[in-house]
Structure 1
Amino acid sequence: MPRVRRCRQYGCHAMCPLPNHYCPLHIEHEAEYLASRERWRNKERSKAQVHKYNTVTRNRTVTKQEQYNFYRTRQWAHLRQSVLDRDHYLCQYCRVIGKLTPDSKTVDHIIPVEAKPSDKADECNLAVICRPCHYKKTEWERKYYGTGNGNELKDVEPIEDVKRIVLMMNGRNNHA
């Protein structure tokens, strides 16, 4: 039996034979995808740039290094898979507004790790989130909690309710 992989087209679950990345229905995207991979591969990145990114930008503090190391553990891999199975790969933030976003593969901390490090391995503090919602939520966390590079953590009440977070992310109910 030939080796296969899932088609890269969003929402398509068809299998395609290796070395293709798209099924016969979406094969017209193959050349474009291979060209983008080639452009990425050919970008010049010196060892100094990579080292600076990893040591200065990405893991700028001991806390960030600990967080990074946590996401590389077997415990996190099992937690993440458990949450994905629990939420059926559906974005919980989109679900609040009545929209179903399938194939979401990111697991997010409802209360950010910076704000409450003790809950980083608590399954109740995790939810599946799609990319657009994750971007919005990260921006909201920077404003509400003061997370992120260059910010100071604020002493605010942690919000555990996804519905309330969605309302606040979308600019409604800011003082609830």
Structure 2
Amino acid sequence: MRRCNHPTCNTLISFNETYCDKHKPYVNDKYNDVRRRNDPEYLRFYKSRQWQRMREIVLMENDYICRSCGRQAQMVDHIIPTKVDWSKRLEKENLQPLCYECHNRKTKREQKEVPHIKARGR
């Protein structure tokens, strides 16, 4: 066990997690704000009805289970990132349910592997 990474939190969590349940949404919202701040097209897409519907379909069809670790999924991830191929953004075959931790780990790995994928913009 270890402490949540949030500066004021002393909640104990397992070693494979970064934040407690209380702080996961806060950290994820902050992360998304940074990613989307300077790209209106990107922001519009994630607020669109098309994306919201597709996201819900993918989560429901997979029983809200993270494809990577088997825990509860809160996010739908683009297997091929939108920054690599924008045309695949609504293809169900390119979407997978992930928990916050697995999604953030995958995103960091992609940013290292593909130089033009940065924390913001397409």
| Distance in 2 of aligned mates of 1:73 and 1:92 | 24
Aligned: 1:123 with 2:101? no
| Distance in 2 of aligned mates of 1:145 and 1:120 | 18
CA displacement, residues 34-85 of structure 1 (integer Å, 9 cap, x when unaligned): xx9xxx9xxxxxxxxxxxxx7x97432xxx2111101111101110011001
CA distance 1:127–1:59, change in 2 (3 Å):
same
| Distance in 2 of aligned mates of 1:74 and 1:108 | 17
Q: Normalising by structure 1, what TM-score? A: 0.46
Partner of 2:55: 80
Question: Following TM superposition, where does structure 1 have runs of at least 4 consecutive aligned residues deviating by more than 4 angstroms?
Answer: none
| Distance in 1 of aligned mates of 2:35 and 2:86 | 21
Q: Percent identity?
A: 33
| Distance in 1 of aligned mates of 2:108 and 2:75 | 16
Q: Give 2:103's match in structure 1, choosing from 104, 114, 134.
A: 134
CA displacement, residues 113-137 of structure 1 (integer Å, 9 cap, x when unaligned): 0001010111111000011111110
Partner of 1:148: 118
Q: Normalising by structure 2, what TM-score? A: 0.65
Partner of 1:106: 75
Instruction: Return 5+ residue gaps in structure 1 as ranges.
Output: 1-32, 41-53, 95-99, 154-176
Counterpart amino acid of residue 100 in structure 2: R
Aligned length: 92
Counterpart amino acid of residue 112 in structure 1: P
| Larger relative contact order (CA 8 Å, sep ≥ 6) | 2
Tell me, yes or no, if the aligned pair for 2:75 and 2:97 is still in contact at 8 Å: yes
| Distance in 2 of aligned mates of 1:149 and 1:130 | 19
Counterpart amino acid of residue 60 in structure 2: D
